[in-house]
Amino acid sequence: MQFQLNCVQQATRATMNSFALSVFVLAVGAVSVSASLQHYVVEKSFNQAQAECAEYQGVHDDDLLRYVKEGYPDVEEVRCLLRCVAFNLRFWNHTTGLQKHMVAGHFVPYPDDFHNVERTEACLAENLYTCDDDLCTQVYKAFQCYYQYYGALSECPQFVVNSYLEDLQVAYDLFGMLAVSQSTLQSLAGGCFPSGEESLCFFYSFVTRTGLYSVEDGAKLERLYYQYKEEVFNPNNAQTVACLQNQKKLACKKSTCQQAYDTFQNCFGESRGLEYLLHTVFVDAAKAFLGQPVCYCNKVKTCPLHKCYGR
């Protein structure tokens, strides 16, 4: 924002001959700001998550430094610290346990090490945790396999996937932010998608706000793969890459909203991820939104703030 203000101030002092150039610079600045918007995206490094968990669990700084230096020794405080980190970064959950593709994203393989995956898998098989292990121990055993055999811990923040409840909240918030009409909400609640341009623009806003798409880059494959773990979202999937490139060539003939939806429909139309958004998240969020009191205001009777009732 400060950059834009500075550009405006410079433009007012510029001569008429340089005015066009100043406007161009301001436009570039606006694009840069757009590309760097946070929306509803969380990116976090292992060290950041570890520091948060240490604070939550009362692990002293000196002890944390010692644990890291000693390679995370097998003591209860360390095991439960790593459990917290695993849930914090979403590479572990209660239903399916370890999310291998997510934990791997926090490690960098050593150069010319082409067998790190094999060694890690062998370690996981040899040190398979059992139901008799408490959750801290289960996470600790899995983490140590990656820590010892996969590579070095990365200092770079990684995309943190959204849960169903977070997706639901994003959709719910956007209904209000975009003032989505009653008819579109009813169509979404009934699983009828798309039902017109308004629903397409809701879709565009949702995938943009959750960091899965941008006008500049199109579909964010790495994040989509993290989120849904389907081969169609794999950044190395040649067929998907070719499809996305073809969609970009067609963008000039479409609206921004249509382009976003067509990209997902044409390249990921058979994916469980898209099905989940259209027929679970959007449906559930629209039903919840329609279940709220509706405010019908007119000149005769106005509704007090936060006290709106349907007729």
Which pair of tokens denotes residue 192? 């009828």
Which pair of tokens denotes residue 171? 């959709």
Work out the burial of residue 9: count CB atoms within 10 Å of its CB; fewer than 13 is exposed, 13-18 middle, 19 or more buried: exposed
For residues 276, 279, 280 and 281, what is the CA-based torsion angle, rounded to 10 degrees? Answer: 90
158 in Cβ contact with 105 (< 8 Å): yes
Q: Write the CB contacts of 1 (distance below 8 Å, at least 6 apart in sequence).
A: 33
Model pLDDT, residue 176: 97
46 in Cβ contact with 85 (< 8 Å): yes
260 in Cβ contact with 202 (< 8 Å): no
Note the Cα 70 to chain centre separation in Å: 33
Which pair of tokens denotes residue 88? 């914090």
Distance separating alpha carbons of residues 105 and 93, to the nearest angstrom: 16
Q: What string of pLDDT tens digits covers the 311 residues of the chain?
A: 323 334 434 443 443 444 343 434 444 444 444 557 889 999 999 999 999 999 999 999 999 999 999 999 999 999 999 999 999 999 998 888 999 999 999 999 999 999 999 999 999 999 876 767 899 999 999 999 999 999 999 999 999 999 999 999 999 999 999 999 999 999 999 999 998 999 999 999 999 999 999 999 999 999 999 999 999 999 999 999 999 999 999 888 899 999 999 999 999 999 999 999 999 999 999 999 999 655 555 544 444 433 333 33
Model pLDDT, residue 37: 87
Note the Cα 286 to chain centre separation in Å: 21
For residues 278, 282, 287 and 293, what is the CA-based torsion angle, rounded to 10 degrees? Answer: -150
Domains observed in the chain: 38-160 (1.10.238.20), 164-291 (1.10.238)
E-strand spans in the chain?
43-44, 92-93, 97-98, 107-108, 152-153, 158-159, 213-214, 218-219
